[in-house]
Structure 1
């Protein structure tokens, strides 16, 4: 397929799940002004209802009996003028009043009933403080088999996609935006067919229904600080209509607290042994937590047009438009299908291959998510235009940092500003020059070296957004508070023909008993020893960490031989070997992260914190509950086979 820039559409990116629609989580083509008008009508009615029931002076301290319906509010449909009844206020006891706007349902034309959400355009912060109650957002998300057009020269592609209805499901799925402190409840519903659209390998540890029918799925909110029951553990999978469920499945409705620091997250499939194929098929999307009190004073670019995610990944396609995945493994006598890495020829951004975007000559904020299975990206502009780096993964940097290029491993996130007013051209190309596999694989080619094109309008305009030097400073990691030091070793095992057959952490498969049992609230040092030839992006569920340094192993073959025999870094005298070249952590990656690149032949020292970084408060859930958490390599083909270990917290 020849690389051409995808046709631009009115939403600016050529994909349906743009910020213009998905931020409101609604498929109704209504204007932001209409939604804001409805929000104001609803909040005014809610205020009036409570004042009438309790009086202004009594509202803050009032309690209501459990289940008491506090009233109904009628407002007008901003699209067709119909009257809508909102079950607005009800109590769940203990004096906590919950405002639930999303129980109301629209029913326009052929669209099915669904739970609408208008909170994004409402001034909920003012109301939250005024009434002193909690806000909740309830959503239902579905997984569908749909057709998506990735490129003008390709037939539509069968994919698995998230959406509020089959008609609106896309890759990536809708961008979910939450406000700090407003809890989100999502019921993830599986409407996938009985058979997969991609080849999968039953010889690796895999979620397989007893009936051999149905596609197991489970959703993980990557970067979320939430209860273990809602973390999307690989063995908590379920098939269509919850007919079959994994051994650790416990609930349909997931609870995301959104009490953590503001930042960019993403949600994706996490089913045991199927993560690589389910994400490759399309089960992924962006999730943003905003905290206006903290972020508004920064005056960064903010509205639907100039602040948006860029979800980037690679795919290969067959002539009929279907996704191509090699159905023969590199060790077919051992694993008939499993390959150590998947790489595609086409670069996809927000659901389009090599798209273009028309931009104004001003600052834009892009939250770049590398959602590839195994491909690293080293982003740069052909013209030399730079990036102002704001945040790594889910957390802001303490200071903004200007960089000329950005290396992103799979699942890493770079939150950046690009100032197109600095460009001397009418267009620019976002390019990539990361070898694959990274770092010692093939160089990029004409197809996968290009990411997307920006067409820059000629008119200069007044831009009131800012790029502050100081961003959000969280407490620095405190070495004196470290309670334990761990050694985490990464291994790759090969067959007689020298091809990988599986990858382990600490020489153990996932099913072996848990060995990492941190205390809730603890701070630990993890020395991650990469004994393979690949760079492995390590992701720790629930934990946040700061990379301290990376030290090269000398006489690495000798040390590796000892480790393969004893699997004990201390017994093998790791300090004797970890005394080579030191690599400093780049300035823009010195903050709190949930993924970091573990260089091959190096020991990477990270300080891990199992608590909030923005607050001294305890978790708002029991992190010691079943089924626990995991940590793993985020190269999905490695994670599936089976570079992943359980993580269980103790009090």
Structure 2
């Protein structure tokens, strides 16, 4: 995982850092009995010279994996830790919470630090989404805390893959915890809707390729098509995404934060 910090974050010395800032890459996988990865073919009736395994419209594994390990544990000190979380699953969304009942603090999202810290009891993380959060273990010395998932495939809360990983608060405090959970994080200016240089309407479309595999298109263009959206540096634009597929499609735009003006359902 690459971690990029802007100048403001570099000067925020009170956030947990060093050994107390840890990336967590979460995904779900299925394994054969011999430990090899299992991935079902698509299409189901494979023809000669077709790629196998290949992409599927939906895949939900039987096991949660964090940083390449099945249901791992992390030994921690009774102090604050910062976790950089990435949902690297193919399809599965996670509704994360701690079985200790304690809250945690979200400080960042896909675009970096948020304007203010948000205290949460649970947090939804969709595929490819990133979350920056702080958990305070200072009042849980000697305890084992499980990070759990309350959202199975197709939003089924009774799915068996509810355990994600453990935090074992069994390490001695190496030094005084001087880290803090700041209330104000970043200066994100409000965008002026009266100063719009361009309005873009972008349609998310689903199709299939010549092998019958799912194909997601943006305005009927494939990923490798020439670039069509070229905003000018310093400009303000309105982007309207219309999702006419059967798939949820979380949106993030690299390197910037954006403001949601409206969200509404459309008739199928």
Verify same fold: TM over 0.5.
yes
- Distance change >3 Å, CA 293–CA 530, structure 1 → 2: closer
Return the offset for 1:466. 0.9
SS in 2 for 1:396: strand
**1:319 maps to 2:3:** no
Determine the C-alpha separation between the residues in 2 that align with 1:330 and 1:503. Answer: 20
Instruction: Please point out which of 343, 355, 365 is paired with 2:60.
Output: 343
Bigger proportion of residues as helix: 1
**1:485 maps to 2:202:** no
* Contact map agreement 1:330 1:338 (CA 8 A) in 2: no
Instruction: Please point out which of 78, 93, 105 is paired with 1:388.
Output: 105
Determine the C-alpha separation between the residues in 1 that align with 2:259 and 2:194. Answer: 15
Aligned counterparts, 1:427-576, within 5 A? 427-436=144-153, 440=154, 442-443=156-157, 445-446=159-160, 448-457=161-170, 462-493=176-207, 501-510=214-223, 514-541=227-254, 544-553=257-266, 556-557=267-268
* RMSD over aligned Cα atoms: 2.9
Question: How many corresponding residue pairs?
Answer: 261
Determine the C-alpha separation between the residues in 2 that align with 1:366 and 1:510. Answer: 31
SS in 2 for 1:550: coil
Aligned counterparts, 1:222-371, within 5 A? 286-290=1-5, 294-297=9-12, 299-304=14-19, 306-329=20-43, 337-371=54-88
Determine the C-alpha separation between the residues in 2 that align with 1:331 and 1:490. Answer: 28
* Greater displacement, 369-378 / 397-406: 369-378
* Contact map agreement 1:308 1:365 (CA 8 A) in 2: yes
* Greater displacement, 375-384 / 417-426: 417-426
Q: Indicate the structure whose relative CO is greater, using CA pairs within 8 Å and at least 6 residues apart.
A: 2
Question: CA offsets per residue over residues 43-83 of structure 1, 9 Å max, x none?
Answer: xxxxxxxxxxxxxxxxxxxxxxxxxxxxxxxxxxxxxxxxx
* Contact map agreement 1:363 1:421 (CA 8 A) in 2: yes
1:410 maps to which residue?
127
* Contact map agreement 1:426 1:458 (CA 8 A) in 2: no
Determine the C-alpha separation between the residues in 2 that align with 1:344 and 1:516. Answer: 35
Determine the C-alpha separation between the residues in 2 that align with 1:464 and 1:539. Answer: 33
Determine the C-alpha separation between the residues in 2 that align with 1:326 and 1:500. Answer: 13
Stretches of structure 1 lacking an aligned partner (at least 5 in a row): 1-285, 558-651
Determine the C-alpha separation between the residues in 2 that align with 1:511 and 1:459. Answer: 52
Determine the C-alpha separation between the residues in 1 that align with 2:138 and 2:236. Answer: 43
Stretches of structure 2 lacking an aligned partner (at least 5 in a row): none
SS in 1 for 2:261: strand
Return the offset for 1:465. 1.2
SS in 1 for 2:59: coil
Return the offset for 1:402. 0.2
* Contact map agreement 1:349 1:451 (CA 8 A) in 2: yes
1:252 maps to which residue?
none
Determine the C-alpha separation between the residues in 2 that align with 1:543 and 1:307. Answer: 22
* Contact map agreement 1:367 1:416 (CA 8 A) in 2: yes
Larger radius of gyration: 1
1:419 maps to which residue?
136
- Distance change >3 Å, CA 464–CA 441, structure 1 → 2: closer
Return the offset for 1:292. 7.0
Determine the C-alpha separation between the residues in 2 that align with 1:543 and 1:289. Answer: 12
TM-score, length basis structure 1:
0.37
- Distance change >3 Å, CA 373–CA 459, structure 1 → 2: same
Return the offset for 1:389. 0.8
